[in-house]
Structure 1
């Protein structure tokens, strides 16, 4: 029987833990049990996540949670994780405080946080934050038509490496802005990371899970056609090379932070972005060849309002799960395994995530030593979901990945590649640790 058990060892198990970051209720205390996180760091690790501190505004308590899946390198995702949550908080305090002042009613702040007002606010902030990344690069070359020498470009890159790198790299975002005082939530995302709401059915205790955001990739028909229609018809064969659902055959995301190779004229790629070491160097050649009428990628986010207080009850044990596409890949793999050899249709990745959410760790899967099992986080739905999907979907590949010594051939390294996985779980109704 093929399972992780046959390659089980203390060293392999500890290798798994070394690649994981997670919240641990035994150390974090009951006050943090409402939000849990877990991350498996692939090679290289380009995922980041953010859990802001709570803040008060207008007698409401707010919190911002997000996962960022970087591509082309981690720099953009790292910058977002470190700066975007505080940008949201500071912008909220400025914008909504100004609204209250303009209306000259001290209590009006409680009425300005409408579904539309906050939704429009989030859309503006995402676009403005991303524009800032691109404008910082354009400011380095205020007259690109006048051109600059390769020597001048290299000096610009040396002095402004971070500015250029975070614009060249890209990142998805799946996030929620929570009004904890009224149990309201705004979902905001670009790219293909996910926000899922999962609740237990009252009849059979099975979970019903719903994807709350739209994925922005060439696989989404609406996005595929949007990109196509925004450019001249004769470009279609160049945008979607060989009918692939990747822009210029290189980028699957149609909306993201960064990725300014696809947003700015090719001059910036030829002179600056080409200097950035990247995990996606082959895209430079394609961008230079096919970039004619940018932008091909935008940062306009998907935003949805969810009234949790009116939609779900505590008895349904609701959970909001935010995760990068590494977890979705595991869920998709598992969905095909569950239905292998049957005529039934495979469950969606969202259904798989819901089915495994809230399930306990399988203690006999990996139990090489007591110190290993003692290190596992107790009552952490985020870690349990990630752990169980790994050990159910790709047990053999995971074991081989963890045992690899890093000296294998490029082909073997490619075969053993595992994407980063980041999961946040938010409980609208807090539970106590006992």
Structure 2
């Protein structure tokens, strides 16, 4: 055997110093997990932190809404599954403002579908409502019902596509070979339908009327809306608008258990059927239809979904579907922008998760007070004008470490293949 020899010159002292200079700002962390494993991150100077955060969060501002959406992990499988909408609709009677956050889970297909379809569906419903009822006579409950119906109709369309492709009575009569042939003949259609049925998306949206006298907030899932208002005395107050639809909410867990009596597995490990944290969402159709779809269709004919053993375990728990609800809660709030300053914060659950990981635990109200106080202070700040121009970015900076330069640097630059934080999307809407 002949070996090739490579001669390398020894590094000079200057080259050694240059190498040390390049790594002097690198640190390691165990993320508080203990054990021997460490991950590297890069300490950034304070002047670079906000610039990098602005870039990584795609921070944008319009006349009345500031937005950020953030996921520092760059691995393809862990790309940001949050989406959001900021739209103005010119309708009879004036311009309506629509904002929404869609928090996808288990993939991008369902959240992309919701992001594309839901705003136009709501706009058409609202336009039809206004054309049949003068805006001066428009009752808040009519708008609430239109919002609720649009969301449920979108979810129904996902189920309808599945039933049209594979009716329940046909599925139960098909042999395995017949089912495989059916899926193979319409492979592209099946891939689209099955992806939407095994993934999901929460929805948190706000709709305000042309005079900014009313705002409707719809929630389906575990995102959070906080309304901030300043009194004549100048004091800011915060109101948590919506309840959160996940198994950490005792009323949601109790609701599911009451709907499925004697089924101990309907909520286990603080998840629906031991699988999903949100209790209400669009999609997740396999948890809303008979278990035969999971056992015979999704399990065997959906690549890279769940291992066969998990498919069998979850299918055995699906006894009386649906387990995930598509019934949203809608909240109507009257505004008086002539008498007080008002803004609305919409955020996906990733923002709250960051505070849950802080050393100091905050109650929901304490967290809301913190957000509103921070936004309120910077709405009228005469310093840090770059950050002042995007109030959502201010909240994001606070969540990822605030004044702790080392913690912010770690959250921005950690070299880790898996996600170390949930996706975070924040919209701050100012009413004027």
Q: TM-score surpassing 0.5?
A: yes
1:335-350 aligned at under 5 Å gives the runs: 336-337=359-360, 348-350=366-368
- Is the Cα contact below 8 Å between 1:67 and 1:422 reproduced in 2? yes
Q: Which moved more, 1:313-322 or 1:219-228?
A: 313-322
State the shift of 1:183 in Å: 2.2
Instruction: Report the counterpart of residue 255 of structure 1 in structure 2.
Output: 280
Q: Distance in 1 between matches of 2:422 and 2:338?
A: 34
Distance 1:248 1:167 in 2: 16
The residue aligned with 2:393 is 383
Q: Paired residue for 2:372, among 339, 354, 377?
A: 354
In the alignment, the residues of structure 1 paired with residue 361 and residue 319 of structure 2 have an alpha-carbon distance, to the nearest angstrom, of 45
Paired position in structure 1 for 2:242: 213
Secondary structure of 1:357's partner?
helix
Q: Secondary structure in 2 aligned to 1:186?
A: strand
Q: Please say if 1:399 is aligned against 2:424.
A: no
Contact map agreement 2:354 2:421 (CA 8 A) in 1: no
More strand by share: 2
Q: Deviations over 1:145-169 (max 9, x none)?
A: 2235335335544333223212221
1:292 paired with 2:281, answer no
Cα drift, residue 305 of structure 1 = 0.9
1:23 maps onto 2:60 in alignment:
yes
Q: Which residue of 2 aligns with 1:302?
A: 329
Q: Is the 8 A contact 1:331 1:352 kept in 2?
A: no
In 2, Cα distance between the equivalents of 1:306 and 1:231? 34
Query: Does the 8 A contact of 1:71 with 1:279 survive in 2?
Result: no
Q: Name which of 191, 195, 206 aligns with 1:165.
A: 195
Residue 113 (structure 1) shift: 2.0
**Matches of 1:90 and 1:346, distance apart in 2:** 35
* C-alpha displacement of 1:330: 2.1
Is residue 365 of structure 2 the alignment partner of residue 331 of structure 1? no
Q: 1:394 to 1:132 in 2, by over 3 A?
A: farther
- CA deviations 1:88-132 (Å, max 9, x no partner) are 1112223443xx3xxxxxxx5234521111111112111111111
- Distance across 1 between alignment mates of 2:372 and 2:230: 9
Task: Work out whether 1:428 is the aligned partner of 2:431.
Answer: yes
Q: Which of 200, 213, 216 in structure 2 is aligned with 1:186?
A: 216
Aligned residue in 2 for 1:66:
100
Match of 1:7 among 17, 37, 43: 43
Q: Which residue of 2 aligns with 1:368?
A: none
Question: In 2, distance between residues paired with 1:358 and 1:154?
Answer: 57
Q: Which residue of 2 aligns with 1:195?
A: 225
Does the C-alpha gap of structure 1 residues 346 and 64 become closer, same or farther in structure 2, counting only changes over 3 Å?
A: closer
Decide which structure has the larger Cα Rg and report it: 2
Distance of 1:7 and 1:350 partners within structure 2: 30
Unpaired stretches in structure 2, ≥5 consecutive residues: 1-28, 30-40
The Cα shift of 1:248 comes to 1.4
Find the residue that maps to 1:224 and give its secondary structure: helix
**Distance of 1:301 and 1:280 partners within structure 2:** 28
Q: Distance in 1 between matches of 2:196 and 2:424?
A: 21
Q: Quick one: which of 30, 33, 41 aligns to 2:63?
A: 33
| 279 and 308 in structure 1: CA distance in 2 versus 1, 3 angstrom threshold | farther
Q: Which residue does the alignment assign to 1:364?
A: none
Q: Is the 8 A contact 1:34 1:428 kept in 2?
A: yes
The count of aligned residue pairs is: 377
After superposition, where does 1:218-229 map in structure 2 within 5 Å? 218-229=247-258
Corresponding position of 2:5: none
Query: Structure 1 residues 180, 164: CA separation in 2 closer, same or farther (over 3 Å shift)?
Result: same
Q: Please report the RMSD computed on the Cα atoms of aligned residues, expressed in angstroms.
A: 3.2
Per-residue deviation, 1:188:
0.6
Report the Cα offset of residue 194 of structure 1.
1.1
Alpha-carbon distance, 1:402 to partner: 3.5
Change in CA separation of 1:377 and 1:392 when aligned onto 2, cut-off 3 Å: closer
